[in-house]
Chains A and B, each alone.
Chain A
Amino acid sequence: MTDMTETRRAGFFRALLSSRAGMLGAGLLALIVLAALLADWLPIANPTRRSLAIRLLPPIWAEGGVPAHLLGTDAQGRDILARIVHGARSSLIVGMAAVALSGLIGMVLGLIAGMRGGIVDIVLMRIVDAILAIPTMLFMLVVALVAGTGIAPLVLVIAATNWVNYTRIVRAEVLRVKDMDFVAAARISRVGTIPLMLRHIVPNILPAFVVVATLNVGSVILTESSLSFLGFGIQPPAISWGQMLSEGREVLATSWWVSTFPGVALTLTVFSIILLGDWLRDHLDPRLP
């Protein structure tokens, strides 16, 4: 009865529409994603073309601003608006890819730890404790040496430390779900471990997982900007907001716009993701108020 599913989906959107915060988050995020997707077709300047002659132009409304560069130019004379729009891609790709990868690893290991229990669980969770103690930077350096710098290695690094959070959450959820009667019923019926996980465990921990993952996208984007601050983030020629912020802070006191606009973009994105995530939590996860 597909109409039933559709009703549920419609209910989801109706609930979203009725939540001001959720709508704000979803709308903003949709706008940002759209801009990132359409970056190449938008009527904006070439984000990498530099011209030292027009460096540090202020935004259009400030004195000295020119219409060709709405939000001004950076220290290399590149158009800030164009860089923000193109930078959205890296930031979102890093956020989503790192979350997807670490979520996948965390899901698998969390399922194993939660379902198997015993020594497997103990060893896995001790490894998780250990990984939490090791700074991301160390992974970053190893990966940078082995795989170079770029979006893919960055995603790898963030995933290398981030998976532990998912493992913990998934394990805790598995422990919660696996003692429920419907799991017992499946076991009495000798349902195999894999179908048991896929049909009973995973669908029931997915809402909590999705909420955590959504919120995590925001923090990963922030992590990228922090790594940029330390010189480890996305490197040119790729563009990221973290990189722009980090470059712009050098001229923060004299040319505020260089770092302020990417900062605003970053903050807005994370803001929208958190709003959406919070709403998702309220909507999907009945265990929380």
Chain B
Amino acid sequence: MTGPVLRYRNAGIEIGGRSLVRGVDLEVHRNEIVALVGESGSGKTLTALSTLGLLPPTARFTADEAVLNGHDLRGLRTEGDWRALRGSDVGIVFQEPLSSLNPVLTIGDQIGEVLRYKRGMPRRQRRTEAADLLARMHLARPAELLDEYPHQLSGGMRQRVMLAIAMAGEPSLLVADEPTTALDNSVQAQVLELIVETAEQTGVGVLFITHDLSVVAQVADRVAVMRGGEILESAPVGRLFKAPEDDYTRRLIRLAPKVPAVMRDASLAQPAPPAPKPLLELRGITKRYSAGWRGQGTLALDNVSLMVNEGETLGLVGESGSGKSSLARIVTGLARPDSGTALFDGRDLFASTDNSDLQMVFQDPFSSLNPRMRIGDSIVEPLRARGMRRGALRDRAADLLETVGLRSAMFDRLPHELSGGQRQRVGIARALSVKPRLLICDEPVSALDVSVQADILALLERLRAEFRLTTIFIAHGLDSIYSVSDRVAVMQKGRVVEEGPRDAVFGAPQHDYTRRLLGAILDSDPDNSRFRRREETL
């Protein structure tokens, strides 16, 4: 066995005089998956990009040693120098499969390009080889796929295509930059499995970038934890999870999702508490979105009936396109259903003109705040709409800001001056300003870093009790709602396929789809890895 595929010693990256990555030591060997874990801004992606020379033009890369497959990366200056290495020595899979594939070129073209320039294959042979690559990525009807465009593929398929492109040049190092973050949970597992399998079959060394410790636990052989541009700790995966040395690592491990015990032992299920009176009752809600002047349209909601009881939290789970957001829009009055009724506390919900019963916390902390409005004004807007006097508003805003853990002096700030977590707090403050009875949280933490997620969830939990809120908590995977829900409803293709007390759903799922979602939950315990296939080598 030769030396490592990639070796960094004391690597650093500077952009505009600011040191973003420092003192990084890293090694990836053949047939090994090394995970680089960290939250946004930790420098993990920059480090990954530095292996391909894809850093921004203003960035400066320094290292005592930087060797990729025998090439000294420090000597590479021009795009031309790097071109020789890219594709053939190192390949990469990016996070967002849709935007990373060229939308106007066929799949075959995008793979064939690598074969042509990296392996000098003649045209006819390229096609066969490309189809072969796709088949190896377990894609059905590979020959037909060659003539299709990225938008015609599902997210999981696209990521397989990306992997095929990355592997087409037969690289020694594969960089996977959050390859499953943008995918639905049920697909995530398959793609992870494929990466593991590819590494196993080709012996390629994998540098796996992620923020998700449960993914790390499932696939990695070794782990390096990054924070603030430095590697805090590096260890074989088992040792890291069992005996983390750094506080930060410990915290990450603590916050990482675990498979609920009830899933392994249904007898642990606790009986559902007696149902108090229902607060929201949806019956037969159907919504169809028309598609132009002759199209059939898509059925977003198909005869959905759902109940939310006073004081409880309903976890509403569904993958993208399942109709959960449409349901939220209808409940909040943003859209009208084509048919169906809704009772809120016994009254017709759709006839309501008051805003104090229902409020919502949005997923994207960037777009949920008006970028041109001071955050104080955003917070009190619901009150203003109810006619509260101007003088009282400012005091109320100050109270609310402190309630959600922000300084009242932030009233005059604009959203772009705040961090994502702060923005989400503002969104929560706005929703609470009118003391609503029902709060809809649409994936309120999925856009945030792991450590921030915990804070926001804790805040929501505290406020739920304080304001005696009934909550609908929307999520795309079951893993993120176990800890917050009393009851769970699972949606698929516009229908509610399963609804019940939390432990009943997790412990004894009735519907296939629910089972599939449960199966997609990754455990952040390396001992429970479903993919790793061998004993640790180091």
Which A residues form the contact surface with B (CB < 8 A)?
Answer: 1, 4, 180-182, 184-192, 195, 199-200, 203-204
Q: Are B334 and A190 closer than 8 Å at their CB atoms?
A: no
Chain B: interface size category: 20 to 34
* A190-B354, A203-B372 given; A184·B334 CB < 8 A: yes
Nearest residue, chain A, Cβ from B365: A181
Which one of B363, B377, B382, B413 lies within 8 Å of A189 (CB-CB)?
A: B382
Nearest residue, chain B, Cβ from A200: B370
5 chain-A/chain-B pairs, Cβ below 8 angstroms: A181-B363, A185-B381, A189-B382, A189-B385, A190-B382
* A182 CA / B363 CA spacing, docked (Å): 11
Nearest residue, chain B, Cβ from A191: B385
Q: Are B362 and A190 closer than 8 Å at their CB atoms?
A: no
For the complex of A and B, 3 pairs with smallest distance between CB atoms: A189-B382, A181-B368, A1-B412
Nearest residue, chain A, Cβ from B368: A181
Which one of B333, B367, B373, B386 lies within 8 Å of A181 (CB-CB)?
A: B367
Question: In residues 423-439 of chain B, which contact A (Cβ within 8 Å)?
Answer: 427, 430-431, 434
Interface of A is mostly: helix
CB distance from B95 to the nearest CB of A (A): 22
Which one of A4, A188, A192, A199 lies within 8 Å of B373 (CB-CB)?
A: A199
Residues of A within 8 A of B364 (CB): 181
Kindly state whether residue B131 has any CB partner on chain A within 8 Å: no
Other A-B contacts than A188-B358, A191-B382, A192-B385, 6 sampled, CB-CB below 8 A, are A4-B414, A185-B362, A189-B355, A190-B355, A199-B377, A204-B370
Which B residues form the contact surface with A (CB < 8 A)?
Answer: 329, 332-334, 353-355, 358-360, 362-364, 367-373, 377-378, 381-382, 384-386, 412-414, 427, 430-431, 434
Q: Are A189 and B354 closer than 8 Å at their CB atoms?
A: no
* A192 CA / B372 CA spacing, docked (Å): 18
Residues of B within 8 A of A181 (CB): 362-364, 367-368
Q: Which residue of B329, B370, B431 has the most chain A CB atoms within 10 A of its CB atom? A: B370
* A185 CA / B363 CA spacing, docked (Å): 12
Residues of B within 8 A of A1 (CB): 412
Residues of B within 8 A of A190 (CB): 333, 353-355, 382, 385-386
Nearest residue, chain B, Cβ from A201: B370
Q: Which residue of B359, B360, B367, B413 has the most chain A CB atoms within 10 A of its CB atom? A: B367
* A1 CA / B414 CA spacing, docked (Å): 11
* A180 CA / B362 CA spacing, docked (Å): 10
Residues of A within 8 A of B367 (CB): 180-182
CB distance from A206 to the nearest CB of B (A): 8
CB distance from B55 to the nearest CB of A (A): 20
Interface of B is mostly: loop
CB distance from B121 to the nearest CB of A (A): 36
Nearest residue, chain A, Cβ from B412: A1
CB distance from B56 to the nearest CB of A (A): 15
* A204 CA / B360 CA spacing, docked (Å): 22
* A182-B378, A186-B381, A192-B385 given; A199·B355 CB < 8 A: no
CB distance from B42 to the nearest CB of A (A): 25
* A180-B367, A199-B373 given; A188·B354 CB < 8 A: no
* A188-B333, A190-B385, A191-B385 given; A182·B359 CB < 8 A: no
CB distance from A115 to the nearest CB of B (A): 14
Residues of A within 8 A of B431 (CB): 185
Residues of B within 8 A of A4 (CB): 412-414
Q: Are A189 and B434 closer than 8 Å at their CB atoms?
A: yes
* A261 CA / B358 CA spacing, docked (Å): 66
Which one of A187, A188, A195, A203 lies within 8 Å of B370 (CB-CB)?
A: A203
Nearest residue, chain B, Cβ from A196: B385
CB distance from B428 to the nearest CB of A (A): 11
Residues of A within 8 A of B334 (CB): 184, 187-188
Q: Are A182 and B332 closer than 8 Å at their CB atoms?
A: no
CB distance from B442 to the nearest CB of A (A): 9
Residues of A within 8 A of B427 (CB): 185
* A192 CA / B386 CA spacing, docked (Å): 10
* A285 CA / B364 CA spacing, docked (Å): 21
Q: Are B371 and A188 closer than 8 Å at their CB atoms?
A: no
* A4-B413, A189-B434, A204-B370 given; A184·B385 CB < 8 A: no
CB distance from B381 to the nearest CB of A (A): 6
Residues of B within 8 A of A184 (CB): 329, 332, 334, 360, 362, 368
* A182-B378, A191-B385 given; A204·B412 CB < 8 A: no
* A191 CA / B412 CA spacing, docked (Å): 21
* A203 CA / B334 CA spacing, docked (Å): 22
Which one of A189, A191, A200 lies within 8 Å of B359 (CB-CB)?
A: A189
* A109 CA / B353 CA spacing, docked (Å): 27
Residues of A within 8 A of B377 (CB): 199
Which one of A189, A203, A204 lies within 8 Å of B381 (CB-CB)?
A: A189
CB distance from A144 to the nearest CB of B (A): 42
Nearest residue, chain A, Cβ from B377: A199
Nearest residue, chain A, Cβ from B410: A1
Nearest residue, chain A, Cβ from B369: A182
Q: Are B359 and A188 closer than 8 Å at their CB atoms?
A: yes
CB distance from B446 to the nearest CB of A (A): 14
Residues of A within 8 A of B329 (CB): 184
Nearest residue, chain B, Cβ from A3: B412
CB distance from A116 to the nearest CB of B (A): 15
CB distance from A141 to the nearest CB of B (A): 38
* A136 CA / B77 CA spacing, docked (Å): 57
* A1 CA / B355 CA spacing, docked (Å): 30
Which one of A185, A192, A195, A200 lies within 8 Å of B430 (CB-CB)?
A: A185
* A199 CA / B378 CA spacing, docked (Å): 10
Residues of A within 8 A of B386 (CB): 190
* A4-B413, A181-B362, A190-B354 given; A204·B371 CB < 8 A: yes
CB distance from A7 to the nearest CB of B (A): 10
